[in-house]
Chain A
Amino acid sequence: MIVELGHFALALALAVSLVAMVLPLWGALRNDGRLMAFGPPSAVLQFLLVALAFGALTYAYVGSDFSVTNVFENSHTDQPMIYRFSGVWGNHEGSILLWVLILVLFGACVAAFGRSMPSPLRAATIAVQSSIVAAFLAFILFTSNPFLRVLPAPTEGRSLNPVLQDPGLALHPPLLYIGYVGFSVVFSFAAAALILGRIDAAWARIVRPWILAAWTTLTGGIALGSYWAYYELGWGGYWFWDPVENASLMPWLAGTALLHSVIVMERREALKVWTILLAVLAFSLSLLGTFLVRSGVLTSVHAFASDPARGVFILLILCAFIGGALLLFAMRGPQLAGGALFSPVSREGSLVLNNLFLSAACAAVFIGTLYPLALEAVTGDKISVGPPFFNATFVPLSLPILLAMPFGQQLAWKRGELLPIAMRLFVAILAGAAVMLAVLALSSGREAIAALGLGLGAFVVVGSLDDLRIRAMRSGAGSFFSRLFGLPRTIVAAALAHMGVGLMVIGIAATAFHEEQIANLEPGQTLNVGGIEISFEGMRRTTGPNFIATVGQFTARKDGVELMRMEPGKRTYVGRSMPTSETSRLQRGLGEVYLAVGDAHEGKLDVRAYWKPYVLLIWLGPLVMTLAGLLSLTDRRMRIAAPRRRVAPGAKPEPAE
């Protein structure tokens, strides 16, 4: 009954969204307040209805109602509660429902927090957002309905895919989707601005927090997925340039470019064409990612829905929205020209440089991901585009960004000069050069690329923090620390986010110094990795709530002192006979000893041990970026809807950086 209620709520939400995509927009175009007023409550209503549907599906999962096909296929009574819960989005139908839930949540947020924005913009934005909602609700109801029943009801389910039974994976999809789908609202703002023909600094100011919110969660979501791959995979890789990973990286790159270009638009009304285009692109790439994952064109295992009908449906959605937005864009193009002029060496110039390389890097990922598909479609030739291609294109395209980053933070608007900034940044330059030379010397020149990466990383970290010192020294009165803590949060956040990038680069560059030991050990034997002695003591079998495991027992020692008992293992889950690996890790500072086991035969066990110095920085960097994004969102300047104090006459408010 509750399941049917959910199904019904979903159909009702479709009806509401169909009306909401027309009336408020019509009102916005005719400047009819009554029609526009339909927008906000309808957005809230869509949210409530979809939330009800999502709640109904969750209810079926938590109560293990196997008469629902979707629950039967993806749940099991032995599963711990958290995985019965996360099973809701651990499959195609449920995850698309989560997608739509977040879509309507953003629509409702525009309704709730958008009181201070011009009502036509708000109404048109809600209308565009509702049209996206309508498209995806139709997709769910016609091709991917999670509420279908199976009769008679099976007594036991098939269980959630074991690799998804992990706390990281319970959280990864929601975060990633908030980021992905967050760009939908940015897209809706852009389309609304194009429809209404008002594209100016005020628009940039309104839309900026939304971009930041989407970017922040997407950053966190990608980092979490990468960390999960690292500890679950069994050999400590963190990024594989898999098409599905690329599908999340592309919107992130476009979104990062957008986050920077919108600053120029807000401050100087320049880069309008480009900013609007990026707003359209960021969400288009999110849609493309959804298409790639859901259609099965990649025949990737991520495609839990390898159903051509679904692929075609999403492709149609993709074409309609991208095509529509680009058409609007072409019609309004002439009005978008112009904006303030600036010299190449200026804050604007540095942000243009950032956008140039981020976009080129995004293009490289796009080409590398889609070229094999296109080539096979056109010529029938099958080629592989793997990590070597991306390392050869993406990495060189991102290095200039790192070099320019600390300079950009120091440059003045309109026109700046590099030499004084280079002198101001001497500490960072010195730090970067010292690290680079030290690494070169220590590795006898063999690790030139790693030295470059570590040097650039150190330069960015020191330069970003130094930015705060320089600003604090130059601003206001009072002690240095009171001035430091008085800096606007957006400025502190920008410096921290840039520092996060630097930390991540250091972590990635340090992978060149990872040590690996592969051995076939008998009990009593030891191996050495990273100066740590790991002795193998034996194997045992254990059982968990819904799995049985073979566990290798090891002790890690340094200079004879026991550091940790390490127990990596292999698990076989009940219900699905797929083994998964459980790695064991020992933290040493920012590095880790990483242990995974393979097959056992005749009492001997295959063991892989790694020493990974600074490896944690790969995720600590993005974590800092995510926290910086959150910090920035708390800045008063980002909350245009919040009640504000009057600025004292004569005081010049500093716009958000």
Chain B
Amino acid sequence: MSRRTLFAALAVLGLAGPVAALSPSERLADPAQEARAREISAELRCLVCQNQSIDDSDADLAKDLRRIVRERIAAGDSNSAVKSFLVARYGEFVLLRPTFSLHNALLWLLPVFALGAGVIVARRQFGNHRPVVDGAVRELTEDERAELARLTGEDTPPRT
């Protein structure tokens, strides 16, 4: 939803019109090269926009970047060479897919750690099947059972 609002904001700044990022005249003649250009464009950030790829943006800068991407492809660069070219010019900010580097290691590893920590915690839930030692499982007291019965409208809640 943001892009829509973004377009509006950009339009106010005189930066962009609202619709249709890639215009027909920009396209490369070779369909395979054009497909590569689209693929790369979707992973590059329009730097003056908020969280928007150059493939989606209609800002002038995005238009320029799309042109550069197509020029580099036409010149025979590989996908990664095109990206490195733009990173050298604009910094890592231009990449929507962050690299796996030292300062991004946490970004990529934290979700894995989160899952790992979750697995460890979950295992503790059913890790031991030994008889439960004192008080770890507390039956409801009579009062609590009566309360539960009152709340649920059932005669007696089943003992678990």
Contacts and interface: CB of A to CB of B under 8 A. Distances in A.
Residue of A270, A371, A386, A519 with highest tally of chain B CB at under 10 A: A386
B107 A599 contact: no
A384 interface: yes
A240 interface: yes
A341 B51 contact: no
Contacts of B2: 240, 242, 244-245, 300-302
Given A371-B106, A381-B92, A581-B19, A229 B155 contact: no
A598 interface: yes
Interface in A347-392: 348-349, 352-353, 355-357, 359-360, 363-364, 367-368, 371, 375, 379, 381-389, 392
Interface in B79-102: 91-98
Interface string A390-403: 00110001000000
A387 B45 CA distance: 11
A406 to B, nearest CB: 20
A144 B137 CA distance: 50
Interface residues of B, number: 71
Contacts, number: 234
A200 B140 contact: yes
B9 interface: yes
A647 B93 contact: no
Interface in A606-653: 606, 608, 640, 644, 646-647, 649, 652-653
Interface in A313-368: 337-344, 348-349, 352-353, 355-357, 359-360, 363-364, 367-368
A570 B136 CA distance: 66
Given A240-B1, A240-B3, A340 B137 contact: yes
A268 B158 CA distance: 10
Interface in A200-226: 200-202, 205-206, 225-226
Contact of B136 (A232, A338, A364, A580): A338
A359 B140 CA distance: 30
Instruction: Report whether over half of chain A's contact residues are helix, strand or loop; otherwise say mixed.
Output: mixed
Contact of A606 (B20, B45, B106): B20
Interface string A484-528: 000000000000000000000000000000000011100000000
Contact of B158 (A300, A519, A598, A652): A652
Contacts of B140: 200-201
Q: Chain A, interface size: which category?
A: 35 or more
Contact of A118 (B56, B147, B160): B147
A367 B107 contact: yes
B153 A518 contact: no
Nearest to A642: B153
B125 A271 contact: yes
Interface in A437-474: none
Interface stretch (A100-108, A538-546, A571-579): A571-579
Contacts of B132: 338, 341
B126 A393 contact: no
A525 to B, nearest CB: 12
Given A245-B1, A352-B122, A596 B103 contact: no
Interface in A148-175: 161-163
A341 B53 CA distance: 49
Interface string B58-73: 0000000000000000
A80 interface: no
Given A578-B12, A596-B19, 15 more contacts: A162-B8, A237-B3, A242-B3, A270-B125, A338-B136, A338-B137, A342-B126, A364-B114, A371-B107, A388-B43, A578-B7, A579-B17, A640-B151, A646-B153, A653-B152
5 contacts: A301-B8, A343-B129, A367-B107, A383-B104, A387-B53
In the complex, the 7 A-B pairs of residues with the closest C-beta atoms, listed nearest first: A386-B96, A598-B20, A388-B97, A363-B114, A364-B111, A360-B115, A242-B2
